[in-house]
Amino acid sequence: MIKVAVCGASGRMGRLVVRQVSLQKDMKLVAAIDTPDNPQREKDVGIVAGVTKLNVKIKSSDDLAKILRSSKPNVLIDFTAAESSVKNVKVASKAGVSVVIGTTGFNKEQRAEMESAIKKGKIRAVISPNFSVGVNVFFKAVQDAAKLLGDDYEPNIVEIHHVHKKDSPSGTALRIAEIVAKARKIESEDIKVKSIREGEVVGEHTLMFLNPYEQVDFMHRAKSREAFAAGAVKAARYVIKKGRAGVIKDMQDVLGLK
């Protein structure tokens, strides 16, 4: 049985992750964590997530180290904010708990801090800007297209998200730019990215390859955040069964696309 802790447990993604974990026969939710001032604190996370009572109360992130020691999870799934995720990874590393991180918006320094903590603690990790299976197949497809189409086709990215999303461009858009840039042997900053924040759009990414004669488009549209939660659960299972100590994997590794 894989024992799971969830950070950001009462948030949009956290509730869906709790729901997905509760549906798995080989997983058990043992801890739920959120911010100290969260109004859902001390409530049963199963009720908050809209599933059945799970007998796991939402606790303060200030007590994360203590919570991990007492609940002894195998893996911590984190969908919070960049600064919080960095702190949570450091605590998990000291506790010897593997991590699955779905937070986006990390700067280079924050990413380096997480990498250092994971290596020092020799924990297993999956960090990905998008846990959707479809998006990761999209990543593979655009990598091949960027190579095959060649430099005659200019790449442009347009991404649309809900008005509540804090980071812009999205982590997924930045990953698309990195993939295309690597295939073209150019800098990712040279690829145009347009971000739109309107309404309640879950997530839409379009990559266009254009030249004067034709246009080739690749598009992924997320219909539900459930896709990300289901992918995070796949990653949690992977990191426990196939992860390597001190090594960061991503969703491409989880799906065997590398």
* Residues labelled catalytic: 161, 165
Interaxial angle between packed helices 133-149 and 171-184, expressed in degrees from 0 to 180 and rounded to the nearest 10: 30
HEC states along 170-208? CHHHHHHHHHHHHHHCCCHHHCEEEEEECCCCCEEEEEE
CB-based burial label for 21 (10 Å; 0-12, 13-18, 19+): buried
* Nearest of 1, 15, 47, 31 to residue 232 by alpha carbon: 15
Q: Contact at 8 Å (CB) between 185 and 227?
A: no
Report yes or no: 33 and 57 within 8 Å, Cβ to Cβ.
no
Non-local CB neighbours of 171 within 8 Å, separated by 6+ positions:
104, 105, 129, 130
Rounded to whole angstroms, how far apart are CA atoms 48 and 43? 7
End-to-end CA distance of the chain: 28
User: What one-letter code names the amino acid at 223?
Assistant: K
